[in-house]
């Protein structure tokens, strides 16, 4: 009798084939178990993909709009009384070396109605502001319909409506008229939404000269907009209030509109972490489902295990068989979930008009997570199957 005989070892191909036998024999159960893993991975991939797509679109929008826009608004004095910016505020800002462009708007005391048949108190939530003719150039705004104010129209009773203001007043095109106080004003243009200064979407804009002539405007700007070189934004921001109001710089509030968009991106990151947590819970539930399926599989297949052990299969071979089966089951759910998540990301991003972004690391991380779950979920059932004695297993009913 030879003592140097060693048990044969299964090749990787044989291990995969043996592990797949259990999956093919119980297809309905496999699909349901893999579904839990797939939903968890799909949720995580979709959340990451949509977050990256939204952030990418936001950053691209910021690049187009620029982050070098600063605004200076009139504040209040120590007693809480409103202050006024000097009439020369724009000219003073233009003297700052790095400043490339400066313009302004101002609040105008003119109540807006759709027509003279509408009571004065029903303003539709639309306010009036005076604007300089170079406002759109500074803000990067565009006209959706009609034209912007020029040197001639800024002196006449004409207005350009913000996108939301036009909707609230029921204005669909140019040439229509609205009432500002008791003056009939012609709508010559409707703006596209202004992303950096969304408050302008809800106002009716008239020229500075027209505001002074028809509505008693005193010529003091309310908000000054300034663009400078990207490298000098912080420096300009530090001297802007002092330049506009040397005697009372504390009464001028300086802000950077692009900071609001950057804050939105930070808020999206917090929401992304929350959704990833929910995806992780779904993935955990899927892992429990895989473990449950494998435990039941071991109980149902004790005779098969006993027969293989009686024919010479080692405990290691049995353990490897069930561990491989668990990994294949998890991998099936992981791959399906990754594909489903990528498809959902591309579909939703396309509907929103975003550039779809699915980071490769999210797919790789999802698949790695499924393999880890497969190992953890299949380890106990595999060890339990390997410990079954051939005689006990063969006698199991």
Please tell me whether residues 226 and 112 are part of one structural domain: yes
Please tell me whether residues 328 and 215 are part of one structural domain: no
Q: Is the pLDDT of residue 258 over 70?
A: no
User: Residues 136-156, buried b or exposed e (16+ Cβ, 10 A)?
Assistant: bebbebebebbebbeeebbbb
Q: Which residue has the higher pLDDT, 16 or 221?
A: 221
Please tell me whether residues 357 and 318 are part of one structural domain: yes
Residues 29-55, mean pLDDT to the nearest whole number: 79
Q: Contact at 8 Å (CB) between 322 and 385?
A: yes
pLDDT of residue 357: 83
Out of 21-25, 274-278, 390-394, the most confident range is: 21-25
Please tell me whether residues 165 and 267 are part of one structural domain: no
Q: Is the pLDDT of residue 271 over 60?
A: no
**pLDDT tens profile 279-303:** 677 667 767 777 777 777 776 677 7
Q: Is the pLDDT of residue 156 over 70?
A: yes
Please tell me whether residues 233 and 348 are part of one structural domain: no
- Domain stop point among 215, 235, 256: 256
Out of 139-148, 226-235, 272-281, 293-302, the most confident range is: 139-148
Please tell me whether residues 183 and 221 are part of one structural domain: yes
- Domain stop point among 256, 274, 289: 256
pLDDT of residue 116: 78
- Domain stop point among 204, 231, 256: 256
Q: Is the pLDDT of residue 360 over 90?
A: no
Residues 84-112, mean pLDDT to the nearest whole number: 90
For all residues of the chain together, what is the average pLDDT? 81
Residue 6 lies inside a defined structural domain of this protein: no
**pLDDT tens profile 341-359:** 889 888 988 888 878 888 8
Tally of domains in the chain: 2
Residue 5 lies inside a defined structural domain of this protein: no
Domain of 41?
12-62+262-395
């Amino acid at each position: 009798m030879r003592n140097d005989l060693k048990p044969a070892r299964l090749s990787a191909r044989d291990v995969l084939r043996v592990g797949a036998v259990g999956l093919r024999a119980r297809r309905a159960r496999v699909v349901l178990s893999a579904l839990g893993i797939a939903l968890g991975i799909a949720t995580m991939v979709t959340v990451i993909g949509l977050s990256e797509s939204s952030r990418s679109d936001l950053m691209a929008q910021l690049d187009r709009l620029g982050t070098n826009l600063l605004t200076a608004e009139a504040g209040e004095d120590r007693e809480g009384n409103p202050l006024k910016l000097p009439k020369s505020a724009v000219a003073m800002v233009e003297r700052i070396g790095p400043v490339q462009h400066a313009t302004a708007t101002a609040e105008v005391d003119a109540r807006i109605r759709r027509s003279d048949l509408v009571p004065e108190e029903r303003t539709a939530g639309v306010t009036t502001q005076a604007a300089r003719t170079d406002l759109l150039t500074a803000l990067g705004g565009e006209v959706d319909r009609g034209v912007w104010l020029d040197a001639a129209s800024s002196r006449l009773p004409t207005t350009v409506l913000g996108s939301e203001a036009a909707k609230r007043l029921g204005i669909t095109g140019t040439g229509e008229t609205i009432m500002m106080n008791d003056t009939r004003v012609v709508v010559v243009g409707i703006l596209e939404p202004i992303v950096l200064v969304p408050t302008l979407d809800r106002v009716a804009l008239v020229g500075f000269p027209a505001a002074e002539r028809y509505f008693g405007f005193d010529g003091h700007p309310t908000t000054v907009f300034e663009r400078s070189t990207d490298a000098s934004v912080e420096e300009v921001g530090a001297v802007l209030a002092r330049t506009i109001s040397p005697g009372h710089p504390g009464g001028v509030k300086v802000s950077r509109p692009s900071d609001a968009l950057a804050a939105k991106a930070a808020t999206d990151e917090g929401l992304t972490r929350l959704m990833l947590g929910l995806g992780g819970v779904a993935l955990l539930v899927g892992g429990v489902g895989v473990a449950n399926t494998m435990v039941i599989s071991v109980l149902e297949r004790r005779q098969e295990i006993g027969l293989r052990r009686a024919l010479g299969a080692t405990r290691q071979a049995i353990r490897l068989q069930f561990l491989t089966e668990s990994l294949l089951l998890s991998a099936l759910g992981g791959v399906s979930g990754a594909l489903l998540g990528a498809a959902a990301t591309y579909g939703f991003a396309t509907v929103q008009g975003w550039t779809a972004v699915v980071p490769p690391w999210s797919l790789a991380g999802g698949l790695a997570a499924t393999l880890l779950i497969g190992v953890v979920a299949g380890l106990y059932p595999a060890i339990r199957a390997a410990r079954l004695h051939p005689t006990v297993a063969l006698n199991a009913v």
